[in-house]
Chain A
Amino acid sequence: MLRTLWANRSKFPLHIIVFLAPAVIIYSTFMIYPLIDSLRLSLYAPDDNQQEVFVGLDNYQKLTTDDLWQPRLEGAIKNNIKFFAIHMLVQNPIGLLLAALLSSQFIRGRAIYRTVIFTPTVLSVVLIGFIWRMILSPLWGISADVIDFINANIIDNLNTLGFGIDAIENQPWLGLENTALPTLALISVWQWIGIPMMLFLAALISIPDELIEAARVDGATAWGVFWRIKFRLILPTVGIVGVLTFVGNFNAFDLIYTTQRATAGPNYSTDILGTFFYRTFFGIQLTPGNPTMGATIAGVMFLIILAGVLLYMFGWQRRILQVEY
């Protein structure tokens, strides 16, 4: 018994090692080592001679209590939460709506809709940032025209039907403190909506017909079928979409960097953790970069993302599994 186990042990590892080696080596060298090395930096600070010396958790304390750092950190976290909330409230419900419509077999041209709506997702954030910056630029005036069009054709018509909707007023959307962040979040939603749409679609079309037919026979409306049957069955996907959105949003950087620069203006109103990290780590204009504080911000980002993912794994996923079985 012992001998066979031993034989197995010595026989087992070789091909397991062969299978694991390429991934583990590349991943450890180019991802884990640099990340740990960078996190290590967050425990160091430059002394008077610009030598990095070990300071323990001082940087973290500075970041969370110092008058200069704390408001920026708090601002970035709050903005990041808003950014995430807008994705959750706009991107994912609309993605679900589109997926629900596209999963219906009565809709013709589903493939075309699906292909077209997914298009922005394949484009680079750099391009998207530039495109929207141009479209929203007061210089070009596209947003003013579009808003006039909506006011004249949609809101007026709804109002003649008895709705009392105020006309929308054009704003310098990316230039005002209260509109810049929501505008950027909506641009991001516009780009990424294809992902939740596809994930929901995949989940919806994998629901067995029999379940839905059975419900129909019981006299349920389409609305009822959707919420009572389909939605419950795709709850795991809802969770995955939620956690993907969370991780994506708390890593976000490119879009805000492309449109608002690392200053994340106006008045830091679009500053999220990614831009805060970049600004601190590399510096801008006259502010020299501060690698150790940058690494500290990276450490905080890591903790936030880790907390979110753990919450998902142990809170949501477990509850869903209990519902399923």
Chain B
Amino acid sequence: MKKVLGVALVLTLILALAPASTEAQEKVTLTIESWRNDDLTIWQDILIPAFNAAHPDIEVVFQPTAPTEYNGALRAKLEGGTAGDLITCRPFDESLNLFQSGHLVSLNELAGMENFSDVAKSAWITDDGSDVFCVPMASVIHGFLYNKTIFDELGLTEPTTETEFLALLEAVKADGLYAPLVMGTVDQWEAATMGYQNIGPNYWLGEEGRLGLIAGTHKYNEGGFLGAFEALARWQPYLPDGYQAISYPDAQNLFALGMGAVYPAGSWDISTFNPQIDFEMGAFKPPLPEGSENCYISDHVDIAMGVNANTPHMDEALIFMEWLTTAEFAGLYSNQLPGFFSLANHSIMLEDPVAQQFLDWRNECESTIRSAYQILSRGEPNNEQDLWLYSAEVLNGNLTPQEAADKVQEGLEAWYEPQQ
């Protein structure tokens, strides 16, 4: 029913807008700013042609910047007035800042916004809920990928509890041929994102813990948040040789070349690995701590798109925004980029079995988002940055879990009133 509605909506939209776009004789070019440079070919070859099928008069150029440079370069370009018409939105404060400084327009009136739940919109809405400024595109889910060939060779099965997980890693280590757990710490963010935030929700009970931090009732240095640091520290013996200098692409290569058994993943890795691997890949959920029954997953709102307030082509930009709310886009995007799961309410079938598996976890487990993203990274020191740093320090063996947790908590208490 919803799908039918969606399609009907799109059709009316297209009909309504068709005369307007034929009137505009000259072709308008919209430029998309993005950090997703991995997606360049998919935008060029699939998404933009699909959009142009309905809107041949609007040319769209996807112009990505390297992820590490995106925020800085975008801000400079927005301030200088050279940014593209469409801005890919990071979740929460980075984009909220852009909206508050007048670089993004409010999208409250955009037709199609009703296709998104409040949770989906939560990352791109003002604190009082009065303005939405980006169209949610996708979330990413954390879990573990594994090499089925190695599992078969060593007679291993998917673990469900932490004990089984560690026993499995021990078995791979004892065999000695493969790296048990493929991750490095040099880029820091994997330690926090693929490590701490991946397994953490099972320890701090998802939203309960995350909202507790915001309310000031939970602390990083006690209970589940400390437990997650302790669990993370138990990974250390199973990381590859020289993991302190292994970067994210190094880890991807290690796993893709079949040199490692288990890979702590973000679902976006699926689309990176698919064309590269010559073995079968499997996936399992973050393992449960002893005595836990319910599972929690990090289903993190990650990417959205907004309109540059200074665009000379506002009408065309809004047409593109509306297209982003459609079932067509949701289906194309989710299937072309297995591992990026549309946030729209359209029901979508995924062709990729591993991606579908990740998506199924949404039904089996409680979803939450990364603990530091909402509100907690507003002050100095930045909570997310602290998590990167201290998660890496735990894995590098420079800090005990308790020390790291104390430091993170101390940083939060320094400025966040509910925690003081």
Contact = CB atoms under 8 A, between A and B. Distances in A.
A–B in direct contact per CB < 8 Å: yes
A175 B398 contact: no
A187 to B, nearest CB: 13
Given A172-B245, A265-B186, A265-B392, A285 B71 contact: yes
Contacts of B185: 175, 266
B100 interface: yes
Nearest to A139: B250
Interface in B175-207: 184-189
A285 B95 CA distance: 11
A278 B76 CA distance: 12
Which residue, B92, B186, B189, B253, has most C-beta atoms of chain A within 10 A?
B186
B323 interface: no
Contact of B187 (A177, A261, A267): A261
Interface string A172-216: 111111000000000000000000000000000000000000000
A138 B242 contact: yes
A287 B385 contact: yes
Q: DSSP majority for the A interface?
A: loop
A24 B241 CA distance: 56
A287 B377 contact: yes
B258 interface: no
A268 B392 CA distance: 12
Given A138-B246, A261-B187, A282 B92 contact: no
Interface string B233-264: 00000001111111100100110000000000
A153 B247 CA distance: 31
A284 interface: yes
B385 A175 contact: no
A170 B245 CA distance: 12
Interface size class of A (residues with CB under 8 A): 20 to 34
A180 to B, nearest CB: 8
Contacts of A265: 186-188, 389, 392
B62 interface: no
A304 to B, nearest CB: 23
Nearest to B184: A175
B71 to A, nearest CB: 6
A288 interface: yes
Given A285-B384, A286-B382, A260 B72 contact: no
A31 to B, nearest CB: 17
Nearest to B98: A288
Given A68-B414, A172-B245, A266 B186 contact: yes
Nearest to A183: B245
Which residue, B90, B189, B242, B372, has most C-beta atoms of chain A within 10 A?
B242
Contact of A173 (B245, B373, B398): B245
A218 B105 CA distance: 84
Nearest to B377: A286
A77 B66 CA distance: 28
B75 A283 contact: yes
Nearest to A68: B380
Contacts of B41: none
Given A139-B250, A263-B388, A287-B377, A282 B71 contact: yes
Nearest to B384: A286
B94 A286 contact: yes
A93 interface: no
A289 interface: yes
A238 B71 CA distance: 42
Contacts of A289: 71-72, 75
Contacts of A133: 247
Contact of B68 (A171, A262, A281, A287): A262
B71 A177 contact: no
Which residue, A138, A171, A267, A289, has most C-beta atoms of chain B within 10 A?
A138
Contacts of B372: 286
A136 interface: yes
Given A175-B185, A286-B94, 15 more contacts: A50-B100, A137-B250, A138-B241, A138-B245, A139-B246, A171-B242, A172-B242, A175-B184, A175-B186, A262-B68, A265-B392, A266-B392, A286-B377, A286-B383, A289-B75
Interface of B: 68, 71-73, 75-76, 90, 92-94, 97, 100-101, 184-189, 240-247, 250, 253-254, 372-373, 377, 380-385, 388-389, 392-393, 396, 398, 414
Q: Which 7 A-B pairs have the closest CB atoms?
A: A282-B72, A175-B244, A138-B242, A175-B245, A172-B245, A172-B242, A286-B377
5 contacts: A137-B246, A137-B247, A176-B396, A283-B71, A286-B92
